[in-house]
């Protein structure tokens, strides 16, 4: 049975898919360019934090073999439709679930920041590094401490789409914590509105420390401002690495 997960339940997963696809679309060209050697040799791509399969779809359309994973069962339900050409779509809860060996490991949407503390993030990084095969490429985004520094006085915001709405309140309880309190509204068939509430408590990290941890486990990495030519939000860093052949 799928394990319960506090983030991205049914309504928020659907709203995120319908209204917030822009991040995967923005990151896809840079990631695809990084993975071109993997595609040429028909290597296997492991995607963690695949969400509803938005980046997965780009990977499949580019000719990659993909195993797409996420910790949210609701997101995986969406991904099975969006990314039907994946070799597998499965539940993977970092840092404790074993990571399948792969020739590339990718993730966008700062999935690692959802782990409970820095120690858990470090364990997840070690697990990802261990799964990366010789000659393999690692590429993921992560929120740095700079993220909270730039958002201390962020006002509440709301977004409205067809048959859905979301209102989000932001807070920074400490320099290494970023909290979003979200109220979601989805229109029922009878015209009434269903409400749900989620609190997302993200752990910020010193991204500059990540390469030193990864090199201890055989992966040479750098922290970059982007995967390619895209403009990532302030405080969101791209980590790009390689396990030498």
Strands (E), the chain: 44-47, 65-70, 88-91, 102-107, 132-143, 157-161, 164-174, 177-187, 193-203, 220-224, 236-242
Taking 70 as the threshold, does the pLDDT of residue 73 lie above it? yes
In a domain, 33, yes or no: yes
Whether residue 51 is found in the same domain as residue 114: yes
Phi-psi region for residue 17, left (φ > 0), alpha (ψ -120 to 50) or beta? alpha
> Count of domains in the chain?
2
Taking 90 as the threshold, does the pLDDT of residue 3 lie above it? no
In a domain, 5, yes or no: no
Whether residue 72 is found in the same domain as residue 27: yes
Q: Which domain holds residue 87?
A: 10-145+206-242
pLDDT category of residue 6 using cuts at 50, 70 and 90: confident
Whether residue 29 is found in the same domain as residue 100: yes
Taking 70 as the threshold, does the pLDDT of residue 32 lie above it? yes
Q: How far apart are CA 144 and CA 121, in angstroms?
A: 12
Residue 8: partners with Cβ closer than 8 Å, 6 or more residues away:
16, 51, 72, 74, 75, 198
Whether residue 85 is found in the same domain as residue 165: no
Whether residue 153 is found in the same domain as residue 127: no
Percent with pLDDT over 70 in the chain: 98
Structure confidence at residue 4 (pLDDT): 52
pLDDT per position as a tens digit, 116-174: 999 999 999 999 999 999 999 999 999 999 999 999 999 999 999 999 999 999 999 99
Whether residue 156 is found in the same domain as residue 140: no
The mean pLDDT of 170-196, rounded to a whole number, is: 97
Whether residue 158 is found in the same domain as residue 124: no
Q: How far apart are CA 77 and CA 53, in angstroms?
A: 10
Whether residue 111 is found in the same domain as residue 129: yes
Whether residue 216 is found in the same domain as residue 116: yes
User: Are 6 and 33 in contact, with CB atoms under 8 Å apart?
Assistant: no
In a domain, 26, yes or no: yes
The mean pLDDT of 89-98, rounded to a whole number, is: 97
8: helix, coil or strand?
coil
In a domain, 135, yes or no: yes
28: helix, coil or strand?
helix
CATH of the domain at 189: 2.20.25.110
In a domain, 2, yes or no: no
Tally the C-alpha atoms within 13 A of residue 74's C-alpha that lie toward its C-beta: 14
In a domain, 3, yes or no: no
């Amino acid at each position: 049975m799928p394990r319960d997960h506090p983030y991205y339940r049914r309504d928020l997963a659907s709203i995120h898919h319908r209204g917030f696809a822009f991040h995967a679309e923005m990151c896809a060209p840079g990631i695809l360019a990084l993975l071109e050697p993997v595609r040429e040799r028909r290597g296997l791509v492991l995607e963690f934090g695949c969400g509803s399969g938005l980046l997965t779809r780009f990977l499949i359309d580019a000719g990659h073999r993909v195993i797409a994973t996420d910790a949210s069962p609701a997101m995986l339900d969406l991904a099975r439709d969006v990314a039907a050409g994946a070799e597998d779509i499965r539940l993977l809860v970092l840092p404790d679930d074993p990571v399948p060996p792969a020739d590339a490991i990718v993730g966008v949407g700062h999935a690692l920041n959802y782990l409970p503390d820095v120690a858990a993030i470090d364990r997840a990084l070690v697990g990802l590094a261990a799964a990366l095969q010789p000659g393999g490429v690692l590429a993921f985004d992560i929120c740095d401490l700079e993220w909270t520094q730039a958002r201390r006085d962020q006002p509440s915001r709301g977004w409205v789409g067809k048959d859905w709405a979301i209102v989000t309140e932001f807070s920074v309880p400490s320099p290494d914590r970023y909290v979003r309190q979200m109220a979601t509204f989805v229109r029922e068939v009878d015209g009434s509105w269903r409400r749900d509430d989620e609190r997302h408590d993200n752990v910020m990290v010193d991204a500059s420390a990540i390469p030193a941890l990864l090199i201890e486990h055989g992966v040479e990495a750098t922290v970059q401002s982007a995967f390619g030519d895209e403009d990532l939000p302030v405080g969101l860093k791209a980590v790009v690495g390689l396990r030498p052949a």
